Structure 1
Amino acid sequence: MPTMPSTSGNPTSGSTIETHRYRAVAESFGVDPAAYDRWRPRYPRDLIERIRTTSPGPEVLDVGIGTGIVARQLRDSGARVTGVEPDARMAGFARAEGFVVEEATIEHWESDGRLFDALVSGQTWHWVEPVSGAAKAKQVLRPGGRVAVFWNAGDAPEEINEAFADAFARAVPDWPTPTDCTPPPASVWYNAMVDRTAEGFRSVGGFGEAERWQDSWDQSYTRDEYLALLPTQGMLTRASAEQTAAVLEAVGRAIDRLGGTFDMHYVTTTMATVRTTG
């Protein structure tokens, strides 16, 4: 699955990844919230249960609630979820799913004294300035409150990734970072984001030692399913219809050469910590 490139330097170094600066990309996912909700992968059931069983209560703050993918899974496990979401289109979709959603970035959101038992963020914390985000988590979590910030990292077969990279470089030459290099596995990008996130929480104090949780799973895709998923990714949400079509055509041909279906191996990586009394 395509990932957000680093802004400079070594792409495996968490210190170089400053995706929170790409606000136009961060707030572009609401271009088609229904497609986003339909095609984005869900999160491992074991992870959701781990969050619930290690939190002191049911009140959860979902940072970047989006269309409510994480929130629905948590609600099904017994949580009461409040969402923070900067994109009005995504916020409206989540409200229609029955959630209270307040429109803001977490850095500028006001809790008005409310405290939560857990703060979660699925596939969104890389859009948050890590120190400011950690400081807000410190403010809104009661002692013992759980933090769980996680990402799904999936890698398609090499033939598909190469087809995407080549077509994207030709179709979207003005992308803000170089695309003429082979990207590392998606899990490398997200492990770097976990490192950067953990640094932010350490810097503000008031949290226990950061933990890294990993859950592995597989998902099969048909040609049509994967071509429906790709436009929900950040590298295509701001591309034109013509640019997107060119990329999808190339990727579709690569999937056809593999027989029309393939298996994607996912690793869900979580940065977890607990609010202390300090």
Structure 2
Amino acid sequence: MTRSKVFGEVAELYDAARPGYADALVSEVLAYAEPGGHAAVEVGAGTGKATVSFASRGIPLVCVEPDPRMAEVLRRNTARYPDVRVEVGGFEEWEAGGRRFGLLFAATSWHWLDPHRRWDLVHAALEPGGALALFWNPQGVLDVELHGELAEIDRRHGVVNSPHGEPASGYRDDPGSWCQEADAECRRDGRFTDLRSVRFRRALHYDTDRYLGHLTSLTAYRVLPDERREQALAETARLLDAHGGGIDVHLMSDLFLARTV
């Protein structure tokens, strides 16, 4: 199943159910990048879960999104920001048209890019001294018993990498594996400097319906056969309803920063 198939077919649900990113993360990126009036480019913008936070700070944006259905929702969500431009296509095929940017960011989309080309593409898109910001939203379940029961449902139905796959107690203050992998790749590349990683943490409550919507929008569930997916979601709904009608998590926002030499 292609990325477009996974996300585009549930674009509205993705937009409604997925959490956004911490305001403190956006502030950290902008303080690091100091974009001034320079435009930024967002890779894999989706429906704008991060885009709106940057656009509302007055940052001119070029948003590259491969799925037309996601891009349609993105245009609607950013319609009040005249300095946001949406360009449909994969970043690997995207033409900058001679433009170079002071900031490039990717919100939970970096892992979709070709690992053999992405550092070259980023370097080509950024002006000298331009900043790269990569970020993700892992989360951990506060109730250890609930985590265990959810993990058992996942095991029965073959769900891997679900957002309730870890208890909150398993997360430290240091950023997780995505940031560590980006850091290691960036150091091997050698064309970037001033590498930093930061973790932000906040409490978040989902009621059952919103959490089911969140799960339905995820690759881990989209790739399941329809019947298996519906069974897993139904069992999860019954469990959450039995635990008070929702789930409490610690939502992390992990941020990796670098700049071109």
- Secondary structure of the 1:69 match is coil
Q: Please list the CA deviations of residues 164-217 of structure 1 after superposition, one character each: whole Å capped at 9, or x if unmatched.
A: 443344445xx7x799xx9556869x7222222223322333210421111111
Q: Please list the CA deviations of residues 19-39 of structure 1 after superposition, one character each: whole Å capped at 9, or x if unmatched.
A: xxxx72575111111111111
Q: Please list the CA deviations of residues 210-251 of structure 1 after superposition, one character each: whole Å capped at 9, or x if unmatched.
A: 211111111112222212211011111233443222112221
- 1:235 and 2:215 correspond: no
- 1:166 and 2:152 correspond: yes
Unpaired segments of 5 or more residues in structure 1? Answer: 1-22
The CA deviation at 1:140 is: 0.9
Deviating more after overlay: 37-46 vs 55-64: 55-64
The CA deviation at 1:134 is: 1.5
Q: Which runs of structure 2 are paired with 1:23-172 in the superposition (5 Å)?
A: 24-25=2-3, 28-55=6-33, 56-57=35-36, 58-97=38-77, 98=79, 99-156=84-141, 157-172=143-158
Structure 2 Cα separation of the partners of residues 196 and 54 of structure 1: 21
Moved beyond 6 Å, runs of 4+ = none
Q: Please list the CA deviations of residues 143-166 of structure 1 after superposition, one character each: whole Å capped at 9, or x if unmatched.
A: 221111000111223444444443
Structure 2 Cα separation of the partners of residues 168 and 262 of structure 1: 16
- Secondary structure of the 1:108 match is coil
Q: Structure 2 vs 1, CA of residues 134 and 155 (structure 1 numbering), >3 Å: closer, same or farther? A: same
Deviating more after overlay: 27-36 vs 236-245: 236-245
TM-score by length of 2: 0.84
Structure 1 Cα separation of the partners of residues 92 and 133 of structure 2: 17
Letter of the structure 2 residue corresponding to residue 166 of structure 1? E
Letter of the structure 1 residue corresponding to residue 55 of structure 2? R
The CA deviation at 1:262 is: 3.1
Letter of the structure 2 residue corresponding to residue 94 of structure 1? L
TM-score by length of 1: 0.79
Structure 1 Cα separation of the partners of residues 153 and 138 of structure 2: 21
Structure 1 Cα separation of the partners of residues 74 and 121 of structure 2: 22
Q: Structure 2 vs 1, CA of residues 137 and 109 (structure 1 numbering), >3 Å: closer, same or farther? A: same
Unpaired segments of 5 or more residues in structure 2? Answer: none
- Secondary structure of the 1:262 match is strand
The CA deviation at 1:61 is: 0.7
Q: Structure 2 vs 1, CA of residues 28 and 187 (structure 1 numbering), >3 Å: closer, same or farther? A: farther
Q: Please list the CA deviations of residues 99-124 of structure 1 after superposition, one character each: whole Å capped at 9, or x if unmatched.
A: 42223322232212111111111111
Q: Say what the alpha-carbon RMSD is for the aligned residues.
A: 2.6
Query: Which residue of 2 is the match for residue 5 of structure 1?
Result: none
The CA deviation at 1:66 is: 0.3
CA contact (8 A) 1:160 1:251 kept: no
CA contact (8 A) 2:139 2:166 kept: no
- Aligned residues between the structures: 248
CA contact (8 A) 2:96 2:125 kept: yes
| Identity %, equivalent residues | 26
CA contact (8 A) 1:214 1:269 kept: yes
Q: Structure 2 vs 1, CA of residues 87 and 96 (structure 1 numbering), >3 Å: closer, same or farther? A: same
